Amino acid sequence: MCFKELEESFKDHCGIFGIYCPDGKLDVAKITYFGLYALQHRGQESSGIAVNDSGNIIYHKDSGLVNEVFNEVVLNHLKGYSAIGHVRYSTTGKSDRENAQPLVIKYRKGHMALAHNGNLVNAHIIREKLEQEGAIFQTTIDSEVIASLISRNRIKSENIEEAILKTMNEIKGAYSLLILTPNKLIAVRDPYGLRPLVMGKINNSICFASETCALDTIGAEYIRDVEPGEIISVSRNGIKSIKYENGTKHLCVFEFIYFARADSYLEGISVYEIRKRLGKQLCKESYVDCDIVIGVPDSGTTAAIGFAEEAGIPFSEGFIKNRYIGRTFIKPEQTQREIAVKIKLNVLKNNVAGKRVVLIDDSIVRGTTSRKIIKMLRDAGASEVHLRISSPPVIFPCYYGIDTPDRKELIAANYSTEEIARILGANSLEYLSLNGLNEVFNGEIHQFCTACFSGEYVTEIPENFNKYILEEGV
């Protein structure tokens, strides 16, 4: 089997941020800008902010990083007392400009803006039904399906919250939502809590974000996580919480392994501490006698520190990471493909030459980048390279908002561990076990989604879902 020369790592899904300032004393657009900046790791293709200006929703969005899309002139135009923002990496829908969020729509009973993190598994079914009834869609993203359903349900509902509850009865999959109306800011989390969403407070203002690192950036106090299946509505009348149902926690475990920033807390748990414990558990299961332990920056670094501490082997920097690669980075020609990795990472030759190296990474997807990194270490003089992965083998695709390949492109689904080690050029390869992952979470792994490891999805996946994804161009 030939694996495509594509981007190796999982792509982050999206990041959302929102703030409601009842007295209008805070510059909500600029605060949202800084909140999105802190969430930039979750999406680098497009950015957008929508602001409620005395009942009118004004917005700006475009392809690009947060600092590419917004400047002082744009932000000074976005005045109001509440705002929502979004950074995006496409999972469903092409990465075209029209798919940038927040989505701003007008309908019979008003208008609203919507920002969505996650992925629906039945969006194509609902969309086909709505199109047959005459609905017109401007984008190829499932977020517009949610907005369309809310607007339709609002016509026969007493209020927007009731319309959202009706919509939650129809949609299946992962969704953390922020909805801006002329007089409210509403946060919604799916009944399984697959995607993260936290609530904070700054002065007398309420804010929401995908991760606590965004709250830290703007100086907000963390209040709590939005509960699975919860709707929180914030207005001048105060804060109202509505439960769709008693949800069950199934936060994506890859938030801890890879996606979230290391300084964030999810469900009250430190991401940094979990990654360190992953490394320690990995060492207990797959110790190897070597000279140094190094991590693949950035998500492999903390696990490498934990592995080194448990093994009593020195932790050392093996790579310098170029932190100034923007989304417009020009990919080299086929004959220069090695440059693509070396621009992002360069080996510290003095640290690895003549050394037996333990290399820690968070996951292997297709294996293309892992193979190049191991070759770089060999070329720099490493005598041995033992690859250790701080998660179990990824053998099933994700349908909840992570851009994973089809199963036939997942290297661990098609080769044994020994075969993968030979393909990558490693002296040895070991993964963290599922039991080990459970140990790291103190026996509570059932509270997290591990479908990419186990194939046990928390929702039913329609048979034609992969066909829909391919047609949407992901």
Coil vs helix vs strand at 102: coil
pLDDT tens profile 20-43: 999 989 999 999 999 999 999 999
Instruction: Kindly state the tokens that stand for 60.
Output: 């700006």
324 falls in which pLDDT band (50, 70, 90)?
low
Residue 73 has pLDDT above 70, yes or no: yes
Instruction: Kindly state the tokens that stand for 173.
Output: 């999959």
Give the residue-averaged pLDDT of 255-273: 96
For residue 269, the number of C-alpha atoms closer than 13 Å in the C-beta half-sphere is: 21
Do 12 and 43 touch, CB atoms closer than 8 A?
yes
Summary mean pLDDT of the chain: 89
Give the residue-averaged pLDDT of 335-361: 84
Which positions are catalytic?
14
Give the residue-averaged pLDDT of 401-429: 90
Q: What pLDDT sits at residue 141?
A: 87
Each domain of the chain, given as residue ranges in start order, spans 15-250, 275-441
Residue 95 has pLDDT above 70, yes or no: no
Do 178 and 158 touch, CB atoms closer than 8 A?
no
Instruction: Kindly state the tokens that stand for 281.
Output: 């558990």
Give the residue-averaged pLDDT of 209-231: 98
The binding site consists of 252, 299, 361-362, 398, 449, 452
Q: What pLDDT sits at residue 466?
A: 57
Q: What pLDDT sits at residue 4?
A: 30
- Going by C-alpha positions, the residue among 66, 183, 165, 172 that lies closest to residue 121 is 172
Amino acid code (one letter) for 147: A
Fold adopted by 275-441 = Rossmann fold (3.40.50)
Q: What pLDDT sits at residue 6?
A: 34
Q: What pLDDT sits at residue 336?
A: 54
Q: What pLDDT sits at residue 322?
A: 77
Residue 378 has pLDDT above 90, yes or no: yes
Residue 233 has pLDDT above 70, yes or no: yes
Give the residue-averaged pLDDT of 108-120: 91
> Is it true that the peptide bond before 102 is cis, omega within 30 degrees of 0?
yes
Fold adopted by 15-250 = Glutamine Phosphoribosylpyrophosphate, subunit 1, domain 1 (3.60.20)
DSSP one-letter string for 260-284: S-TT-EETTEEHHHHHHHHHHHHHH
The proportion of the chain whose per-residue pLDDT surpasses 70, expressed as a percent, equals: 89
Give the residue-averaged pLDDT of 150-177: 94
329 falls in which pLDDT band (50, 70, 90)?
very low
Instruction: Kindly state the tokens that stand for 444.
Output: 């509570």
The Cα–Cα gap between 145 and 140 comes to: 9
Choice among 226-230, 378-382, 389-393, 405-409 with the minimum mean pLDDT: 405-409
Residue 92 has pLDDT above 70, yes or no: no
Q: What pLDDT sits at residue 467?
A: 45
Contacts of 159 (CB under 8 A, 6+ apart): none
The Cα–Cα gap between 401 and 254 comes to: 11
**Burial track 6-26 (b if 16+ CB lie within 10 A, e otherwise):** eebbbbbbbbbbbbbbbeeeb
Give the residue-averaged pLDDT of 436-442: 97
Pairing of strands 448-449, 428-431: unpaired
Q: What pLDDT sits at residue 471?
A: 35
The Cα–Cα gap between 195 and 188 comes to: 11
The Cα–Cα gap between 8 and 5 comes to: 8
DSSP one-letter string for 157-204: SSSHHHHHHHHHHH--EEEEEEEE-SS-EEEEE-TT--S--EEEEETT
99 falls in which pLDDT band (50, 70, 90)?
confident
Coil vs helix vs strand at 307: helix
- Going by C-alpha positions, the residue among 231, 239, 244, 225 that lies closest to residue 187 is 231
Q: What pLDDT sits at residue 90?
A: 61
Q: For residue 256, what is the DSSP state?
A: I
pLDDT tens profile 199-218: 999 999 999 999 999 999 99
Q: Which is it for the CA torsion 369, 374, 378, 382, positive or negative?
A: positive
- Going by C-alpha positions, the residue among 115, 1, 3, 40 that lies closest to residue 368 is 3
By CB atoms closer than 10 A (0-12, 13-18, 19+), residue 342 is middle
The Cα–Cα gap between 14 and 178 comes to: 12
Q: What pLDDT sits at residue 409?
A: 86
Do 18 and 84 touch, CB atoms closer than 8 A?
yes
Contacts of 8 (CB under 8 A, 6+ apart): 364, 365, 366, 367, 368, 369, 370
The binding site for [4Fe-4S] cluster consists of 252, 398, 449, 452
Q: What pLDDT sits at residue 444?
A: 94
The whole-model pTM stands at 0.90
Q: What pLDDT sits at residue 423?
A: 97
Residue 11 has pLDDT above 80, yes or no: no
Give the residue-averaged pLDDT of 394-415: 86
Amino acid code (one letter) for 182: P
Q: What pLDDT sits at residue 2?
A: 32
Residue 156 has pLDDT above 80, yes or no: yes
Q: What pLDDT sits at residue 306?
A: 98
Q: For residue 244, what is the DSSP state?
A: S
Q: What pLDDT sits at residue 339?
A: 67
468 falls in which pLDDT band (50, 70, 90)?
very low
